[in-house]
Structure 1
Amino acid sequence: MSEGDSRAFGLRVAELRRQRGMKQEELAATLGRTASWLSQVERGIQPVNRLDVLRLLADGLGVPLQTLRPDTPTPVSAPAESADAPNDLDQARLTISGYPVPDVLLMANAADAAVDVDELRAAVDAVWELTHGSRFAELSSAIGPLIPRLERAARTAPSTDQPTLWLLLSRTYQALSAAFVRQDEPDAAWLAADRSITAAERSGEVLHVFAGVYRLAQAFVRLKHLDQAEHAAATAVVALRRHLSGTTAHPEALSVLGSLHLALALVHARAGNRADARREIEHARQVAEKLGVDRNDLNLEFGRTNVDIQAVSIAVELGDAGEAIDIGERINAERLSTERRARLAMDLGRAYAQRRQGGEALAHLLEAEKLAPELIHTHVAARNAIRELILVAGRAASPELKSLAERADAQP
C-alpha cells in the first residue's frame, strides 16, 4: 500500500467510524488494539495490508470487507470450518491486556490452592515448541487459557511451589514476547517482555531476568527505539561481564551474555553502524567459543551456529549481500529449531534479492515458507524482498514468485 493509498484508506476508516458514532477508543477496544494504533491507521501512518487485520477492522465497523477496501478480491470459496480459525496473535494480545487475574484480589482465601506443577511445566514447554516452530495460530490458542492459570497459580499456590510457578510464568511471557517480535507486534512484545522480567525476579532465577532483558531489547529494535534497545542490552552486558569476571562461567550465563551481544549487533546494524555491529558479532563469537557447543539455554539457542546465522542477518541489514551468502551457504543448521532454519533461509533469500539473483532468492524464500509459513508471510523484511523480486522481474515474474507474493500479501 503506497503512502497515498494509506492516507485514503485511513480517511475511509475514520469516516465509517464516525458514521457509526464510535470514538477511536471504542473501536480500538472492539478490535483488541490500542487507540494509538487506530489513530495512526486513520492518519495514513500505519498501513494495513494483512487480510486478517482488514477483516477484523471491517467486522468492528460492521461493514463488508469490500466496503472498507474495494480492491480486496472476493473469496471464491473457503472451508466453512476454517472461516473463524485464528491466524495470528490477536487472541494472545487480548489475553495480556489489562491486569491478568483481577478476581484474585477479591478472594478472601486465595492462598494455598493446589496446582499441578508438572502439568503446567509441560504446557510451558509446549508453548516454546510452538514459538520455535513459528506456529503462531496454535500458540495464540494455547496462551489464552494458560497465562491466567499461571498468573493465578503463582499467587495462590503453596509458598514452596511459588518460585517454580513464577519461573514458568516468566518463560511463558518470554515465548510470547519472541512471537510478538516475529509477527511485528512490538508494543505487545514490550509488555510481554516486561512481565517476564518481573516474574523472573519473583522466581529468584536471575538469569531469566537477563533473558527477559534480551527479549525487551528485541522489542525496542522493532519499535525503532534503538537508544532504548542499546541501553537495555548494554547495561545487562556490563553487569553480566562484571559478575563473570574471574569466575568459571556457567554455560547458561554464557548463553545469555552471547545473546545480548547479538542483540547489540542488531541494534548497531539497524543504525548503520558497521564497525560496532561487527565488533558485537565478534564478542558473541568469542563467547560461543568458550561455550564450545550449540545449546538452547533459556530457549536462546545460542552457540557457534546461531552466531553465524545472526552474522548472516547482520550482513544483510548492512547491505553486504556477498558476505551474507558466503557465510550462510556454509552453515549446517539441521540441529537448530525450525524458526532458526527458516530465518537463515529467509535471510539468504534477502541477500540473493539484493544481488538481483532472482532464482536463488526465490528458492531460499520458498524453503523458508515451507519450514515456517507464518514467519515468511508476516515478516516485514521477507515481504519487502518478495515485493522487490516482483518489481525486478516485471512481466517475466514466474508463477511460483507470483503465488508466493499473493500468499505473503507482498504484491507491489
Structure 2
Amino acid sequence: MTQDSASIGERVRATRKLKGWTQGRLAREASVSISLVRAVEQGRSPASPAFVAATARALGEGVADLLDQPYPRTSRDEQNVHAGITHVRRELATYRIPPEDVPPRPIQDLAAEVARASQLRHSVKLGDLSGLLPGLLHDLRVAWYSTDGPEQERIFGLLAEAYAATSQVAYKLGYIDLASLAVDRYEWAAAQSGDQLAVLAGDYQRAGEMIGTADWSGAERFLESSRRRIESDLHREDPATLAMWGNLHLKSGLAAARAGRRDTADAHLAEAAETAERLGQDRDDYRLCFGPTNVDIWRVGLAVEMMDGTEAVKRSKAVKLPEGTPRERVGHHYIDLARGFLLHGDRQGAFSALQVAKRTAPTQTRYHPMVHETIRMLARQEARASETVRGFAAWCGITSLD
C-alpha cells in the first residue's frame, strides 16, 4: 500500500483535466471563484469542506474520491483499527434478514452494550468500537425479531443508537458511503421505535449527508421542516426537546456557513445559544451533545467554515471545555481551531492546536482530511518544513509535502 502523497488540490486538478475542463469552467460549475480554484490546485490555499463538496458535485465525483478516503493502512495498528469494518458492512447489508435460531440476549445486557458503544464513540476509540459493533448489531437483530410491542420499540431505539455509532466510526475512518448506509439504517430503526425525537435525530444525520454533497439549501429547508414538528412543544421546557431544537439550529448554521450565508449562519447560532442558555447545562440526548459547551465549540467551527480565521481565533478565547467534555468534541474543536489559526496567519498556533487534537483524540486526528490539509499548508508555508511538522505529517501517513 502507498501512503497519502497527493493533496486534495492535486486530485481536483487531475480530475478536472480528465474532464477536459479549464479552471474557469470548474469555478463556474462549482459556484466558487477562479482564484480559489487556482489557489487550491497550486497548494496556496487549503481545500475547505465546502470547496471539496462543491467541486466533487460539479465534477461528478464522490467526496471520498477527492479526499482519497479511506486512507491506506500502513501499520499493524492501523490495520487493527479498520479490521471490524468488513463485518460492519455485512451487518448493515443483512439488517432485515431473519437471524439464525438463537435465543435473544436480555434487553438490559443489550442496553449496557449499546451504552458502551456510545461511550467508545464519544471517546473516539475507533478500533474498539469497530470491533464491538458487528456482534452488537447482530444481537440486536436477533432481539427485535424475537420481541413485539413496547419491548420491540425499545430494541429499535437501541438499534438506532448503535447505527448512529456505526455511522460515526465509518465516517471517521473514511468510509463515507458506508456511513451513509448506516444513516439509512438509523432512520429505519428510529421510525420503528415510536420516538419522535429519535426520528429527528435521524433528520440531523440526514441533513449532514446533504451538506456533505453540497446540497446546502436543501438541507436548510429539510431542517426547517424538522424543527416545525417540535416547535409547539418548546413551551413545555422538556430538556431533550430543547436540546434537539438547538442541535437542529446548529446543523442549519453549518449548511448556511458552507453556502456562504453568514448572516443566516449567525442567526441559527444565536437561536442555538439562546436554547443552551435556557437549558443551562450540557446534555447528551440521543448521543447528540448539546449545551453551552457544544454551542461554544460550534461558534468557533462556524467561523472557520465561513473562512474567517481571525473571528474563529477571537471566539476561541471564550471557550471553556469542562472536564468530562467528550474527547470527540474536544478533538474536533482543536482541529477546527488549527484551521482557524492557519487562516488567521498564525502557523505556530495552528500546529499547537493540531498537537492538542492529537493528544486528545489521536485516531480521529490521524484520519481527519482537514488535518491533512492543514499540515500540508503548514509545511508549504515554511521555507523548509521543520522536523516536527514533517514528523506530524508522517504520523498522519503523508509522505510527500511538495
User: TM range, normalised to the smaller chain?
Assistant: 0.7 to 0.9
Aligned to 2:326: 337
Cα displacement (A) at 1:255: 0.6
2:356 is the alignment partner of 1:367: yes
2:106 matches 1:116: yes
With over 3 angstroms needed to count, the CA separation of the structure-2 counterparts of 1:308 and 1:49, relative to structure 1, is same
Distance, in Å, in 2 between the alignment partners of 1:102 and 1:186 is: 24
Percent of paired sites with the same residue: 26
Name 1:71's counterpart in structure 2.
none
Matched residues in 2 for 1:235 and 1:204: separation?
Answer: 19
296 and 404 in structure 1: CA distance in 2 versus 1, 3 angstrom threshold: same
Give the one of 328, 347, 371 matched to 1:382.
371
Q: Tell me, in whole angstroms, the C-alpha distance in 2 between the residues paired with 1:43 and 1:209.
A: 27
Counterpart in the other structure of 1:173: 163
| 2:381 partner SS | helix
Instruction: State the Cα deviation string for residues 160-181 of structure 1 (Å, max 9, x = none).
Output: 5212111100111122223334
Task: Give 1:232 deviation, angstroms.
Answer: 2.8
Structure 1 residue 278 corresponds to structure 2 residue 286: no
- Tell me the residue number matched to 1:98: 93
Query: 2:347, 2:119 → 1: CA distance?
Result: 33
Q: Retained in 1: the 8 A contact 2:88–2:133?
A: no
Following the alignment from structure 2 to structure 1, what is the Cα–Cα distance between the partners of residues 137 and 184? 15
The farther-off stretch of 361-370 and 158-167 is 158-167
For 2:177, give the aligned amino acid.
D
Matched positions, count: 351
Aligned to 1:313: 301
- Secondary structure at the counterpart of residue 288 of structure 1: helix
* 1:156-195 map, 5 Å: 156-157=146-147, 159-195=149-185
Gaps of 5+ in 1: 11-36, 56-74
Cα 1:325–1:53 shift into 2, 3 Å: closer
How far, CA to CA, are the matches of 1:101 and 1:157 in structure 2?
Answer: 14
Per-residue CA shift, 1:387-409, capped at 9, x if unaligned?
111110131x2211111111223
Shift of 1:374: 1.6
Larger radius of gyration between Structure 1 and Structure 2: 1
Report SS of the residue matched to 1:383.
helix
Conserved in 2, the CA contact under 8 Å of 1:186 and 1:220? Answer: no
1:201 matches 2:191: yes
Report if aligned partners of 1:328, 1:344 keep a CA contact under 8 Å in 2: no
Tell me the alpha carbon deviations over residues 337-377 of structure 1, each in whole angstroms, 9 at most, x when there is no partner.
Answer: 00111111111111111122111111110110111112112
Q: How far apart, CA to CA, are the structure 2 residues paired with 1:172 and 1:45?
A: 24
CA distance in 2, matches of 1:189, 1:316: 24
Secondary structure of the 2:133 match is: helix
- CA distance 1:227–1:95, change in 2 (3 Å): farther
Query: Aligned partners of 1:46 and 1:83: how far apart in 2?
Result: 20
Q: Partner of 1:287 in structure 2? A: 275
Unaligned runs of at least 5 residues, structure 2: 1-5, 19-55
> 8 Å contact 2:253–2:268 — kept in the other structure?
yes
Q: Give 1:229-248 correspondences, 5 Å limit.
A: 229-244=219-234, 247-248=235-236
Q: 1:268 is matched by which residue type in structure 2?
A: A
Q: Do the aligned partners of 2:83 and 2:131 also contact (CA within 8 Å) in 1?
A: no
Q: Where do residues 21-60 of structure 1 align in structure 2 (5 Å cutoff)? A: 46-47=65-66, 49=68, 53-54=71-72
Distance 1:134 1:374 in 2: 7
Quick check: 2:200–2:244 contact (8 Å CA) kept in 1?
yes
Deviation at 1:297, TM superposition (A): 1.7
**Structure 1 counterpart of 2:369, which letter?**
V
Tell me if the contact between 2:71 and 2:367 (Cα under 8 Å) persists in the aligned partners.
Answer: no
* Aligned partners of 2:88 and 2:134 also within 8 Å: no
| More displaced stretch, 307-316 vs 317-326 | 317-326
Q: What is the Cα-based RMSD across aligned positions, in Å?
A: 3.0
Change over 3 Å in CA distance of 1:128–1:4 after alignment to 2:
closer
> Partner residue of 1:3?
11
Counterpart of 1:318, as a letter, is M
**Alpha carbons of structure 1 residues 140 and 83: separation in structure 2 relative to 1, 3 Å:** closer
- Summarize the Cα distance change of 1:44–1:221 in structure 2 as closer, same or farther, 3 Å threshold: closer
Q: How far is the alpha carbon of 1:294 from its aligned partner?
A: 1.4
Shift in alpha-carbon separation, 1:263–1:182, aligned structure 2, 3 A:
farther
CA contact (8 A) 1:49 1:409 kept: no
Q: Distance in 2 between matches of 1:385 and 1:260?
A: 28
